[in-house]
A = this chain, B = another copy of it.
Amino acid sequence: MRTGILLYHHFSEYELSVALSVLRQGNQDIETIGLGDSQVVGEAGLTCVPDSTIEKVDVNELNCLVLPGCDDIGHLKDETRLFSFISQVIEGNSVVAAISSAPFLLAKAGALNTQRYTVGFTREQRDFIGIFNETNYIDSPLVTDGKILTAKGAFFKDFGIQLGKMLELDFNSSWYR
């Protein structure tokens, strides 16, 4: 079993980085997953090559999926293949962790109607986007509900550490001050 890391255009490198490091410390295998075979350029300019794609990856091999934020997540609003991929992973009872703007993708996958969550959008932004369930929204840096972890972007260290705890990994959090 391994952790899938979604990589899409303009993903935030720093929001993802501590989670990745905690997974590495805990000897958890990872597989980076693109929407297609192309290279992906992060928000701060790092060009990455995903190990696999949402078409090719075996969902049954994933015990976890990580969704980094990105500064223009609206470019993913019509990626229905991505939303059904995320749904499948959630139905498989995996841990799913989304930070900053990425809970938008959980909302699109239908997961936020039953789960409490946070997200890095203001009330006005959430209203404008129009797909967030306000009843389940919690104004907190980090929210864990069942197997779903969500966090605001600035709390990327806590996000990585909480992910490691949910996966019961052995790691040293003092690496990240």
Contact = CB atoms under 8 A, between A and B. Distances in A.
Given A13-B13, A13-B17, A176-B154, A51 B47 contact: yes
A171 B156 CA distance: 18
Contacts of A174: 154
B17 A45 contact: no
| Range of interface residues on A (Cβ < 8 Å) | 20 to 34
Given A21-B43, A154-B174, 14 more contacts: A12-B21, A13-B20, A14-B17, A14-B21, A14-B175, A16-B17, A20-B45, A20-B46, A24-B43, A30-B44, A46-B46, A141-B177, A157-B177, A158-B177
B14 A32 contact: no
Contacts of A21: 12-14, 43-44
Nearest to A173: B154
Nearest to A14: B17
Interface of A: 12-14, 16-18, 20-21, 23-24, 30, 32, 39, 43-51, 141, 153-158, 174-177
Contacts of A14: 14, 17-18, 20-21, 175-176
Contacts of A20: 13-14, 44-46
Contact of A49 (B24, B48, B156, B177): B48
Contacts of A47: 32, 48-51
A141 B176 CA distance: 12
Pick from A16, A20, A44, A157 the residue with the most CB of B within 10 Å. A44
